[in-house]
């Protein structure tokens, strides 16, 4: 392994380094796009300005006083720098893996290496381009990346079937094979939501795989009978934990009734789109789904009791109290837990969105905090957090070397990652599961049933618990609960009221309490009715 000349931004590769003259880093987050300076010092200054956090800075007493005007102000702004300057002549602050590090000048890493690492951690904003770079494929997803069908699936899709409409005057889509038509469908129908794009891609891959197993296809060749067979195939996929009897073979993948309805809805949407745009001469999927009945029948079933969640809260509090030295990773896990626990946010909503610099936490004048996330349909939603979350979030920022409260224009990822600048959805999932598994290990000897339940809990269960607390326990008005949860329909929010029989019983008692009392004076309610 040989290091390239970082001063000219050469790439570190095995055995050779490509000169900087053939490549540049381009900032695509500004309009028009700008080239990042090639000199490490200038690049660090540029990144500090656009990312709103230090990247690589040298400090001494003279510069501190020049920047902050007076020594007391410098000590308040840079306490760690001032403390270290008592023993050394210069100090370096640098950003690495989502945290701000402070070291003595001689111990500081190469500035160009830090700059390159920061650029790579923001790969959706900063792109490394070469002079001979080939243009990107036109079939791209929401991030500008090629649609992730495997090469074998793409080859299988690049053809047409009997329903294909070859006449350019009526084929308004202009696609000449199923792959191009499928790409157009995904770009148009899922452009507003990253979650919808991922779900649609998964379901269409499932359909293509089934066609390959039965030697059917291409998609534009499937008949209505073929789609009915696929629907029957989905219904026969046994849910997990059930068996078809002693003669049963290896269990098939688990799929619930809701997932079956979702899969067929995607298929129906695809064929309707193809027929409406003239790509197909007929629609074999017409009438295969039941409209919005699946949504109307939504009933949350994955519930965990508040008592078990309280045990998890206590575990997080003990973890924080047992720390003598701030460990950013331990505090991060507790911060992630309280964000899921008290915001009701979806997993993908708490994952960092570089294009919109969300999610973020904001403080008002009295210290109350608000979490802002990007929800389904690319809608921005603000969620007030309870005051109990303030100390944990502030302690987490301090452990990262940041100030207790974020600056007004700060664009630092809310949750940092070790390998990149931020933690993705998979990493957030693992951190929440780590808390649940730790508590399950503590209680499973005395309460094995609860321990087993906690091991099956996922982050989305915390969203259900949050919703149930609002709707059932605290009786928050449904429109307010709907706004907090980001539900498109208030019926989805109202479904949580169906999950608690005791709550419904209490309403019945309240509704008929007066008539019961009157019945006590003039006979039983039954006698009065007679």
User: What one-character DSSP code corresponds to residue 472?
Assistant: I
Give the pLDDT score at 20: 38
Residue 528: band (very low, low, confident or very high) from pLDDT cuts 50, 70, 90:
very low
Distances from the Cα of 204 to the Cα of 150, 181, 401, angstroms: 12, 13, 45
In 284-411, DSSP assigns E strands to: 360-363, 369-374, 380-385
| CB-CB contact of 86 with 75 (8 Å) | no
What SS3 state is found at 104?
strand
Look-up: residue for tokens 């618990």?
465
Give the rounded distance of the alpha carbon of 449 from its chain centre: 30
CB atoms within 10 A of CB 432: 24
**Which of the pair, 33 or 317, is modelled with greater confidence?**
317
Q: Is the bond into 218 cis (omega within 30 degrees of 0)?
A: yes
| More confident: 23 or 2 | 23
Does the annotation mark 487 as catalytic?
yes
For residue 245, give every residue at least 6 positions away whose Cβ sits within 8 Å of its Cβ, in sequence order, or none: none
Burial class (CB in 10 A: 0-12, 13-18, 19+), 319: middle
Give the whole-angstrom CA distance, residue 396 versus residue 390: 10
Give the H/E segment covering residue 397. Answer: helix 390-399
pLDDT in tens, 227-257: 999 999 988 875 444 334 444 444 445 677 8
At residue 15, the pLDDT reads: 36
User: What burial class does residue 385 get, using C-beta atoms within 10 Å of its C-beta: 0-12 exposed, 13-18 middle, 19+ buried?
Assistant: middle
**What residues contact residue 54 under an 8 Å CB cut-off, 6+ apart?**
48, 93, 94, 95, 100
Range with lowest mean pLDDT among 84-93, 141-150, 193-202 = 141-150
- C-alpha torsion sign, points 408, 412, 416, 422: positive
Decide if pLDDT at 82 tops 50. yes
Does 298 have pLDDT greater than 90?
no
pLDDT at residue 295, rounded to an integer: 47
Percent of the chain with pLDDT over 70: 80
The pLDDT score that the predictor gives to residue 121 is: 83
Mean pLDDT of all residues in 78-97: 90
Residue 150 pLDDT level (bands cut at 50, 70, 90) = low
Yes or no: say if 181 and 279 are a contact pair by the CB < 8 Å rule: yes
Across the chain, mean pLDDT equals: 80
Our measurement of the distance from residue 331's CA atom to the centroid of its chain's CA atoms, rounded to an integer in Å, reads 20
Could you give the percent of the chain with pLDDT greater than 90? 39
Of residues 118, 129, 125, 113, the one with CA closest to residue 47: 118
The catalytic position among 53, 122, 195, 463 is: 463
Residue 346 catalytic?
yes
The answer to whether residue 137 scores a pLDDT higher than 70 is: no
The reply to whether 376 belongs to the active site is yes
Catalytic residue among 238, 252, 460, 503: 460
User: pTM of the full predicted structure?
Assistant: 0.63
- CA 393 vs. chain centroid, Å, equals 19
Start-to-end CA span in the chain (Å): 94
Q: How many CA atoms lie within 13 A of 287 on its CB side?
A: 3
Q: What is the mean pLDDT of residues 45-52?
A: 84
Rounded Cα distance, 90 and 92, in Å = 7
Q: Mean pLDDT throughout 480-508?
A: 81
How do residues 317-346 score in pLDDT, each as one tens digit?
Answer: 999 888 777 688 899 999 999 999 999 999
- At 439, the pLDDT band (50, 70, 90 cuts) reads very high
DSSP one-letter code for 281 = S
pLDDT band at 513 (very low <50, low <70, confident <90, very high): low
- Inform me whether the pLDDT recorded for 527 exceeds 70: no
| Residue located via tokens 């309610």 | 525
Of 219-233, 408-422, 452-466, which gets the smallest average pLDDT?
408-422
How much is the average pLDDT of 408-430? 84
CA 122 – CA 48 distance, rounded (Å)? 13
Residues β-bridged to residue 383: 371
Q: What confidence category does residue 139 fall into, taking pLDDT thresholds of 50, 70 and 90?
A: very low
The reported pLDDT for the residue numbered 192 is: 66
Q: Which of 48-62, 211-225, 250-264, 440-454 has the lowest mean pLDDT?
A: 250-264
DSSP string across 341-375: HHH---HHHHS-BTTTTBSEEEE-TTS-EEEEEE-
297 or 13, higher pLDDT: 297
pLDDT class of 303 with cuts at 50, 70, 90: confident
Distance (Å, whole) CA 328 – CA 399: 5
Mean local confidence (pLDDT), 400-425: 83
How far is CA 35 from each of CA 54, 57, 128, 422, rounded to the nearest angstrom?
A: 19, 21, 10, 23
d(CA 243, CA 26): 56
Q: Do the Cβ atoms of 372 and 380 come closer than 8 Å?
A: yes
Higher pLDDT, 311 or 497: 311
Dihedral angle sign, alpha carbons of residues 196, 199, 205, 210: negative
Please state, in angstroms and rounded to a whole number, the distance separating the CA atoms of residues 149 and 409: 38
Q: Does residue 475 have a pLDDT over 50?
A: yes
User: Which DSSP letter does residue 469 get?
Assistant: I
SS3 108: coil
Give the pLDDT of residue 279.
Answer: 94
Mean pLDDT computed over 397-413: 85
122, 262, 275, 346: which is the annotated catalytic residue? 346
Catalytic site residue from 6, 179, 279, 496 = 496
Q: Based on the residue annotation, tell me whether 275 is a catalytic residue of this protein.
A: no
- The average pLDDT across 163-189 equals 89
> Which residue segments constitute the domains of the chain, with CATH numbers given?
6-130 (no CATH), 151-240+254-296 (1.10.150.130), 306-488 (1.10.443.10), 500-530 (no CATH)
Q: What's the pLDDT at 270?
A: 94
Average pLDDT over residues 405-417: 84
Of 159, 229, 376, 498, the catalytic one is 376
Residue 518 pLDDT:
45
| 466, 342 contact by CB (below 8 A) | yes
Asked if pLDDT for residue 423 goes beyond 70, the answer is yes
Q: Which residue has the higher pLDDT, 398 or 326?
A: 398
């Amino acid at each position: 392994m040989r290091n390239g000349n970082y001063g000219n931004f050469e790439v570190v590769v095995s055995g050779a380094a490509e000169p900087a003259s053939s490549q540049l880093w381009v900032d695509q987050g500004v309009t028009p796009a700008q080239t990042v300076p090639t000199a490490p010092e200038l690049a660090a200054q540029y990144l500090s300005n656009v990312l709103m956090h230090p990247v690589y800075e040298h400090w001494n007493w003279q510069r501190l006083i020049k920047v902050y005007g007076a020594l007391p102000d410098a000590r308040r702004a840079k306490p760690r720098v001032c403390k270290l300057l008592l023993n050394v002549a210069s100090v370096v602050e640098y950003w690495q893996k989502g945290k701000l590090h402070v070291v003595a000048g001689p111990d500081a890493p190469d500035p160009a290496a830090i700059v390159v690492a920061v650029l790579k951690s923001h790969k959706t904003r900063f792109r490394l381009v070469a002079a001979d770079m080939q243009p990107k494929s036109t079939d791209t997803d929401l991030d500008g990346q090629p649609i992730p069908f495997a090469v074998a699936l793409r080859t299988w899709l690049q053809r047409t079937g009997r329903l294909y409409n070859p006449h350019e005057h009526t084929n308004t889509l202009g696609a000449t094979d199923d792959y191009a038509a499928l790409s157009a469908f995904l770009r148009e129908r899922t452009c507003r939501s990253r979650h919808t794009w991922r779900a649609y891609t998964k379901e269409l891959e499932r359909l293509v795989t089934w066609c390959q197993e039965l030697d059917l296809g291409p998609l534009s060749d499937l008949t209505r009978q073929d789609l009915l067979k696929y629907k029957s195939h989905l219904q026969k996929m046994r849910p997990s934990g059930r068996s078809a009897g002693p003669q049963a073979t290896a269990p098939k993948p688990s799929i619930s009734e809701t997932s079956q309805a979702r899969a067929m809805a995607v298929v129906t949407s695809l064929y309707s789109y193809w027929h409406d745009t003239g790509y197909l001469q007929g629609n074999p999927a017409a009438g295969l789904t039941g409209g919005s009945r699946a949504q109307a029948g939504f009933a949350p079933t994955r519930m965990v009791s508040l008592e078990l969640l309280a045990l998890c809260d206590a575990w997080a509090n003990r973890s924080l109290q047992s720390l003598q030295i701030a460990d950013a990773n331990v505090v991060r896990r507790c911060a992630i837990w309280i964000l899921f626990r008290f915001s009701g946010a979806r997993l993908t909503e708490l994952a960092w969105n570089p294009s919109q610099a969300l999610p973020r936490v904001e403080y008002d004048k009295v210290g109350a905090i608000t979490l802002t996330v990007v929800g389904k349909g690319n809608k921005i939603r603000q969620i007030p957090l309870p005051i109990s979350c303030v100390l944990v979030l502030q302690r987490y920022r301090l452990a990262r070397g940041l100030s207790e409260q974020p600056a007004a224009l700060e664009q630092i990822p809310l949750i940092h990652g070790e390998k990149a600048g931020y933690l993705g959805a998979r990493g957030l999932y693992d951190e929440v599961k780590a808390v649940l598994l730790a508590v399950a290990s503590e209680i499973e000897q005395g309460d094995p049933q609860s321990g087993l339940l906690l091991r099956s809990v996922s982050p989305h269960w915390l969203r259900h618990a949050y919703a149930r607390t609002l709707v059932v326990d605290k009786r928050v008005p449904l429109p307010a609960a709907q706004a907090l949860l980001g539900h498109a329909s208030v019926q989805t929010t109202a479904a949580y009221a169906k999950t608690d029989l005791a709550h419904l019983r209490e309403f019945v008692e309240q509704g008929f309490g007066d008539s019961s009392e009157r019945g006590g004076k003039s006979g039983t309610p039954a006698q009065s009715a007679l």
